């Protein structure tokens, strides 16, 4: 069997793998990128609705969930959103801020893939696609075998195989298995940024709300997000629900402020004074979608006019409008999740280089690591930053 020798082998041609390949190549390393997909950067291509939300101007360590909240600091500080923006501008890719610091390509996510590929090809990175990795060994250097019977050898191996979300486009648990093979630990994994499914027993209560969208403040396990929520046939979606799902653990309730900008108490006092004869559900329709207002009054067993709403029912209404407690059954799952929460335990890795502390030359970057960002460009920023950090050590 022929052995192909490199300085660095990277498994995974997604955002993290491509960035790492280009940066290591710039440092004069002979780099090979292996991927089991035929197409490079498939997740980038479908990201941001086809326009790739490639970074967030507000990316900072607090926007990431990890077993060690300090782990991402070093990498994020050494490769900032501005660094990626410079690259995007160098390639004359038009972009815009959609909202909340989220930067998107004006035309197409494929421009980001083309840009990274161009950067990598300029420094002679080699790609071998459509390869299933059959074995990885490390007698001294790393030996990577593939299903075409080729053997690849390098002193450094970078694992950039991402998480489990969207298996339809090639996501696998390969990176976790490889980490375990070399004695590294994996934290608990869960689909995230996917929103919620109701418990089966609650489905009939909520299905009639499908299609309703509200601006709300959703809190889950002490994290709160203010954006839209959308009732689906099976659960809750919309950006605020997706964000909250990053913090969800089985049995965690959601607390939803349905009117984050309104003092409900003042509103009800005025409504009693001015429109005492109106039914509560009609009063609620002034501040909430009609269908939701009707459901809410029924759900709280509030009937009759606002003038007749006694102190106990008024308090019940205020408490529920400002802190409606709902208990999802689960998040939606890997078929819809933007990311996998959890990954290679950060305690096993150097936060400056992403190298495994116990296995010299073995690096983990991007989503496979236990660093998971909010919705809005944060996960790509982590992919770029962790890749850049590793590349400086290769």
* Residue 225 in contact with ligand FAD, rule: CB under 6 A: no
The 10 Å CB-count burial string (b at 16+, else e) for 228-263 is ebbbbebbbbbbbbbbbbbbbeeeeebbbbbbeeee
Can you tell me the distance from the alpha carbon of 197 to that of 245, in angstroms, rounded to the nearest whole number?
A: 10
| Distance, C-alpha 364 to centroid of its chain | 18
**In the set 383, 389, 391, 394, which binds ligand FAD (CB under 6 A)?**
383
- Distance of closest approach, residue 198 Cβ to ligand FAD, in angstroms: 22
Closest Cα to residue 340, out of 178, 167, 112, 132? Answer: 167
Q: How far is CA 384 from CA 39, 277, 355, in A?
A: 19, 60, 16
Burial class (CB in 10 A: 0-12, 13-18, 19+), 294: middle
- Distance of closest approach, residue 93 Cβ to ligand FAD, in angstroms: 15
- Distance of closest approach, residue 207 Cβ to ligand FAD, in angstroms: 25
**In the set 24, 115, 339, 356, which binds ligand FAD (CB under 6 A)?**
339
**In the set 8, 9, 10, 16, which binds ligand FAD (CB under 6 A)?**
16
* Residue 160 in contact with ligand FAD, rule: CB under 6 A: yes
* Residue 243 in contact with ligand FAD, rule: CB under 6 A: no
* Residue 342 in contact with ligand FAD, rule: CB under 6 A: no
Q: How many other C-beta atoms are found inside a 10 Å radius of the C-beta of residue 137?
A: 13
**CB 376, CB 53: distance < 8 Å:** yes
* Residue 162 in contact with ligand FAD, rule: CB under 6 A: yes
* Residue 338 in contact with ligand FAD, rule: CB under 6 A: yes
* 151-154, strands of its sheet edge to edge: 3-5, 151-154, 142-146, 133-137
* Residue 343 in contact with ligand FAD, rule: CB under 6 A: no
List binders of ligand FAD among 247-306 (CB under 6 A): none
* Residue 11 in contact with ligand FAD, rule: CB under 6 A: yes
**CB 277, CB 305: distance < 8 Å:** yes
- Distance of closest approach, residue 101 Cβ to ligand FAD, in angstroms: 12
**CB 37, CB 13: distance < 8 Å:** yes
**In the set 45, 46, 123, 223, which binds ligand FAD (CB under 6 A)?**
46
**Interface residue list for ligand FAD (CB under 6 A):** 11-17, 35-37, 42-43, 46-48, 52-53, 133, 160-162, 165-166, 170-172, 174, 338-339, 366-368, 377-380, 383
């Amino acid at each position: 069997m022929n052995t192909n020798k490199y300085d660095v082998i990277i498994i995974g041609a997604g955002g993290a793998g491509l960035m790492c390949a280009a940066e290591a190549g710039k440092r004069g390393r002979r780099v090979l990128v292996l991927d089991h997909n035929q197409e490079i950067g498939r997740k980038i291509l479908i990201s941001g609705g086809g326009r790739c939300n490639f970074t967030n101007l507000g990316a900072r360590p607090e926007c990431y969930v990890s077993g060690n909240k300090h782990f991402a600091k070093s990498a994020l500080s050494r490769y900032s959103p501005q660094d990626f923006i410079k690259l995007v501008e160098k390639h004359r890719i038009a972009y815009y801020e959609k909202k909340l610091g989220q930067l998107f390509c004006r035309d197409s996510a494929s421009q980001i893939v083309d840009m990274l590929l161009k950067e990598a090809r300029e420094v002679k990175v080699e790609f071998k696609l459509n390869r299933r990795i059959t074995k990885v060994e490390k007698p001294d250097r790393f030996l990577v075998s593939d299903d075409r019977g080729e053997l690849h050898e390098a002193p450094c191996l970078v694992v950039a195989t991402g998480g489990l979300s969207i298996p339809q486009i090639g996501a696998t648990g390969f990176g976790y298995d490889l980490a375990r093979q070399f004695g590294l630990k994996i934290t608990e994994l869960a689909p995230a940024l996917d929103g919620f499914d109701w418990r089966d027993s609650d489905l009939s209560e909520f299905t009639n709300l499908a299609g309703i969208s509200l601006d709300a403040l959703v809190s889950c396990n002490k994290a709160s997000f203010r954006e839209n929520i959308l009732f689906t046939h099976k659960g809750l979606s919309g950006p605020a629900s997706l964000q909250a799902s990053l913090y969800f653990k089985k049995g965690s309730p959601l607390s939803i402020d349905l009117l984050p900008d309104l003092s409900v108490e003042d509103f009800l006092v005025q409504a009693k004074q001015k429109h005492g004869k109106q039914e509560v559900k009609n009063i609620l329709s002034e501040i909430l979608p009609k269908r939701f207002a009707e459901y809410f009054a029924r759900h709280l067993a509030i009937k009759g006019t606002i003038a007749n709403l006694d102190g106990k029912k008024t308090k019940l209404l205020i408490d529920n409008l400002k802190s409606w407690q709902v208990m999802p059954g689960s998040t939606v799952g890997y078929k819809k999740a933007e990311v996998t929460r959890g990954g290679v335990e950060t305690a096993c890795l150097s936060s400056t280089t992403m190298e495994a502390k116990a296995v010299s030359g073995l690096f983990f970057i991007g989503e496979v690591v236990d660093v998971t960002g909010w919705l809005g460009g944060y996960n790509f920023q982590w992919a770029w930053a962790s890749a850049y950090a590793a590349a400086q050590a290769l």
